[in-house]
Amino acid sequence: MCNIAGGRCSYNMSKFTSLMRPRSVAIVGASKTPGKIGYAVVENMKSSGFTGEIYPINPKEAEIAGLKAYPSITEVKKPVDVAVLCVPARVSIPVAEECGQAGVKHMIVITAGFKEVGKEGRELEDKLIEIAGKYGMSIVGPNCLGVIDTHTPFNATFAKNMALKGNIAFISQSGALCIAILDWSLKIGLGFSQFVSFGNKADLNEADFIEIASHDPNTKVICLYLEDIVDGPRFIKAAREATKRVPVIVLKSGVSAAGAKAASSHTGALAGSDTAYETAFRHAGVLRASSMTELFDLASAFTTQPIPQGKRIAVITNSGGPGIVASDSIELGGLKMAQFSEKTLDLLKETMPSMANIHNPIDVIGDAHYDRYETALNAALADPNVDAATVLLSPTAVIEVDKVANVIIEARRKYPDKPVVASFTGGFAVENGVAHLREHGVPTYAFPEPGVATLRGMAKFSELREAIRDGEEWTFDDVCKDKVKAIFEKVRSDGRDLLLSPEAAEVAELYKIPAAPSRLATTEDEAEKFALEMDFPVVMKIASPDIMHKTDIGGVKVGLKSKEDVRAAFISIMENSKKAVPGAKIYGVEVQKMMPKGDEIIIGMVKDPTFGPMVAFGSGGILVNLLQDASFRLASGLTKREVDEMITETKAYTILKGFRGAEADDIPAIAEAVARVAQLCRDFPEISELDINPVFAYPKGLSALDIKIKLS
Ligand code: ACO
């Protein structure tokens, strides 16, 4: 976001080293009174193991918690990397000014009472931003819990405890959630590298903290809790970069107030309230968690397990039921049950009892001892057709739970490239085994499905990351940008925001989006001339921005096959229109070549206020809103791979590839048209909506029939 005046255009990570690895921290509003936030922050800083200087600032005290206190930060007279502000909102303004004068690099403003409380608070926050800008300071918050780095270590928060050392960076918009997660993490032994509450994000926001965490050598996975995103393109850029090194997982609460909903187009109606975030996260390579549990299940798995190379899962179980539950979960969730190689099957046949199922899921059956698990798990992990495994155990009287846990831990060591999760289902009987597995970094769940869900998330991340590596924007240099610009200028100078159909068709032609030829005739002679040029049959439609339901008022004539037909249609369309909508601004009559029927698709674009234009592809025609069959991607950075995915993930694809013996349509040409629409929308941010519906798809080529382009 970079609200700071003259702020950071490019990232200087060393600047943020002094935020996460400060050498000195001042606490402004430090207090001797237990129960006060300024007291808690001093205590936390002291007990965190921080080895740098701590400077309590308080106008009345000479010493706080055994540390020398200063009446003002300007009295410290030594470099201060971070100032934690724990003074009331109004006081924080002069304090920020003093911080600037003292050369503070970063302010963590815990104080509430800023923009979240309304106009007055907004003004205070603006003032804070202005002061920070003047002195080149960054701001975390205001209205936040603060920042922890367990490896520095330092704890500049008023949380009850310090986080455990670990490899998860947790970045949250909600301070209260941070407090709760922190407390919970201590109970279950979950560790963090960085723990950041960024509150109102007056300056540093989610994108900054993703960048900071992605440069942190101690962070193996970045988790975010977000309610909104302030700068879509920056978020995407930061996440895409981060994802090359570590997974980024987001739990996004609330639905988007996307402009997409407000759009009047077909494409707008196809976009759900959450489409923009879903689309943006996918493009950014961000894994989306649907719950807090999933967020941390995935985070834990990413810190201990390798990323799977594919979706083929082996299941090893000592009982049928859980094996079926896991198999269902694998298949329904889009993973695949691994098909074992002959070698694996031969080995299992030799070593397992005859009643055992040697095909996936491998059922080592109820009388199994740990050794059958050992054989089965090692055989599965050695198989090149297996990408990951889940081990299920029901605590029979004969199974040595702890030894099975050891088998898994050993197998993980032997096959470091394949993730393994476990589900030891039970209570007291499995307790020690579960603890042992957790100690050794094997994700363990009470039931099979969450384990499968974790593997699914990991496999999805693998795909997302692959897509990012394949990430060249699909662009064309054979487009006529200047001519399109001139058309838009003409439309604007005419006082319109909606292009007439012939203008829209011309724009499409200039971007080589195949469109049915279309011209605007202002006289019968012109209509005849255009019809002869494009060849019969033709369709004619009234060209008027004031007439919506053209067919109903006799403003459309189809199947015109001769000069006479065309002349007569011109007269009748003009008359009907003038009669039906007196005073309507009429530009003439559109003459459009009547195209042979093809499979009907829609290509469109809606704009999201945060993430910009999103292109859509799906089933088109008059049933478009009923079918609700569309996929979306961001126009910005759209790759060939993404366009291909867009097409294949719709139901329309089933028709396009040749349904029930029909000849397949020209899918490469359709893909190119989608990419060209995306480029048009990137080149002209003033396009607020674009709908091409229907597009007729043919075995060779395609033709855009009805093109609607609206300018902002
Ligand atoms: N420089 C340094 N210290 C000063 C200054 C100054 N200019 N002016 C006052 N102080 C001292 C005060 O004397 C006081 O110290 P004392 O205890 O020795 O008297 C200390 O600073 C604090 O000032 P108070 O006026 O006592 O303020 P109080 O501690 O009551 O409240 C606070 C300050 C906590 C920042 C409050 O304004 C606030 O914002 N509370 C909400 C915080 C919050 O919820 N943040 C969001 C967290 S995220 C979540 O939701 C969990």
Q: Report which ligand 1 atom has the smallest distance to the Cα of 141.
A: 46
> How far apart are the CA of 171 and the centre of ligand 1, in A?
24
Confidence band of 157 (pLDDT split at 50, 70, 90) = very high
Output the pLDDT for position 260. Answer: 40
Of 250, 203, 188, residue with least CA distance to 222 = 250
Higher pLDDT, 265 or 244: 244
Output the pLDDT for position 651. Answer: 96
pLDDT tens digits for 64-84?
999 999 999 999 999 999 999
pLDDT of 690 > 70? The answer is: yes
Residue nearest atom 18 in ligand 1 by C-alpha distance: 31
Let me know if domain 307-469 sits in CATH 3.40.50.261: yes
What does pTM read for this prediction? 0.91
Q: Report which ligand 1 atom has the smallest distance to the Cα of 37.
A: 34
Confidence band of 264 (pLDDT split at 50, 70, 90) = low
Q: Report which ligand 1 atom has the smallest distance to the Cα of 179.
A: 51
Using a 10 angstrom Cβ sphere, with 0-12 exposed, 13-18 middle and 19 or more buried, the burial of residue 661 is exposed
> How far apart are the CA of 33 and the centre of ligand 1, in A?
11
Output the pLDDT for position 232. Answer: 93
Output the pLDDT for position 622. Answer: 82
Q: What is the mean pLDDT of residues 614-629?
A: 90
pLDDT tens digits for 36-56?
999 999 999 999 999 999 999
Tokens of 404: 């099975």
Q: What is the mean pLDDT of residues 474-485?
A: 97
Output the pLDDT for position 253. Answer: 82
Confidence band of 10 (pLDDT split at 50, 70, 90) = very low
pLDDT tens digits for 602-617?
999 999 989 999 999 9
Domain 481-593 top-level CATH class: alpha beta
Neighbours of 592 (CB within 10 A): 24
Q: Report which ligand 1 atom has the smallest distance to the Cα of 199.
A: 48
Q: Could you tell me the residue ranges of all domains in the chain?
A: 307-469, 481-593, 599-711
Query: Among 32, 42, 58, which residue has the most ligand 1 atoms within 8 Å of its CB, making it the best to mutate?
Result: 58
Share of the chain above pLDDT 90, in %: 89
Tokens of 635: 């126009």
> How far apart are the CA of 230 and the centre of ligand 1, in A?
28
> How far apart are the CA of 687 and the centre of ligand 1, in A?
49
Task: Give the 3-state secondary structure of residue 483.
Answer: helix
Query: Among 32, 84, 87, 144, which residue has the most ligand 1 atoms within 8 Å of its CB, making it the best to mutate?
Result: 87
Ligand 1 first shell, C-beta below 6 A: 28-29, 31-33, 36-38, 57-61, 86-88, 91, 95, 110-113, 143-145, 175-176, 179, 197
Q: What is the mean pLDDT of residues 638-660?
A: 95
Output the pLDDT for position 159. Answer: 95
Confidence band of 262 (pLDDT split at 50, 70, 90) = very low
Q: Report which ligand 1 atom has the smallest distance to the Cα of 98.
A: 7
Calpha distance 251→224 (Å, rounded): 6
> How far apart are the CA of 110 and the centre of ligand 1, in A?
9
Query: Among 28, 37, 84, 98, which residue has the most ligand 1 atoms within 8 Å of its CB, making it the best to mutate?
Result: 37
pLDDT of 170 > 60? The answer is: yes
Query: Would the CA dihedral through 271, 273, 275, 276 be positive or negative?
Result: positive
Output the pLDDT for position 13. Answer: 59
Q: What is the mean pLDDT of residues 118-146?
A: 97
Q: What is the mean pLDDT of residues 577-588?
A: 93
Q: Are 146 and 231 in contact (CB under 8 A)?
A: no
Q: Report which ligand 1 atom has the smallest distance to the Cα of 143.
A: 46
Query: Among 27, 36, 124, 201, which residue has the most ligand 1 atoms within 8 Å of its CB, making it the best to mutate?
Result: 36
Across-strand partners of 250?
224, 288
Q: Report which ligand 1 atom has the smallest distance to the Cα of 89.
A: 37
> How far apart are the CA of 87 and the centre of ligand 1, in A?
3
Helical packing angle, 431-439 and 401-414, nearest 10°: 20
Calpha distance 318→367 (Å, rounded): 8
> How far apart are the CA of 611 and the centre of ligand 1, in A?
37
Residue type, 371: D
Calpha distance 105→636 (Å, rounded): 34
Confidence band of 399 (pLDDT split at 50, 70, 90) = very high
User: Could you tell me the strand order of the sheet in which 154-157 lies?
Assistant: 154-157, 146-149, 191-197, 164-172, 221-226, 248-252, 287-288
> How far apart are the CA of 104 and the centre of ligand 1, in A?
19
Q: What is the mean pLDDT of the chain?
A: 93
Output the pLDDT for position 255. Answer: 57
State the pairing for strand pair 106-109/138-140: parallel
Output the pLDDT for position 195. Answer: 97
Output the pLDDT for position 545. Answer: 86
Share of the chain above pLDDT 70, in %: 96
pLDDT of 12 > 80? The answer is: no
pLDDT of 257 > 70? The answer is: no
> How far apart are the CA of 528 and the centre of ligand 1, in A?
81
Output the pLDDT for position 258. Answer: 46
Cα dihedral 365, 370, 375, 376 in deg (nearest 10): 40
Q: What is the mean pLDDT of residues 297-326?
A: 96
Calpha distance 233→572 (Å, rounded): 51
> How far apart are the CA of 109 and the centre of ligand 1, in A?
10
State the pairing for strand pair 444-445/362-363: unpaired
> How far apart are the CA of 36 and the centre of ligand 1, in A?
7
Across-strand partners of 164?
191
**Domain covering 599-711, topology:** D-amino Acid Aminotransferase; Chain A, domain 1 (3.30.470)
> How far apart are the CA of 107 and the centre of ligand 1, in A?
15
pLDDT tens digits for 530-567?
999 999 999 999 999 888 888 889 999 999 999 999 99
Confidence band of 575 (pLDDT split at 50, 70, 90) = very high
> How far apart are the CA of 89 and the centre of ligand 1, in A?
8
pLDDT of 350 > 80? The answer is: yes
Query: Among 55, 86, 97, which residue has the most ligand 1 atoms within 8 Å of its CB, making it the best to mutate?
Result: 86
Q: Report which ligand 1 atom has the smallest distance to the Cα of 95.
A: 7
Alpha helices (runs of H) in 21-82, residue ranges in sequence order: 37-47
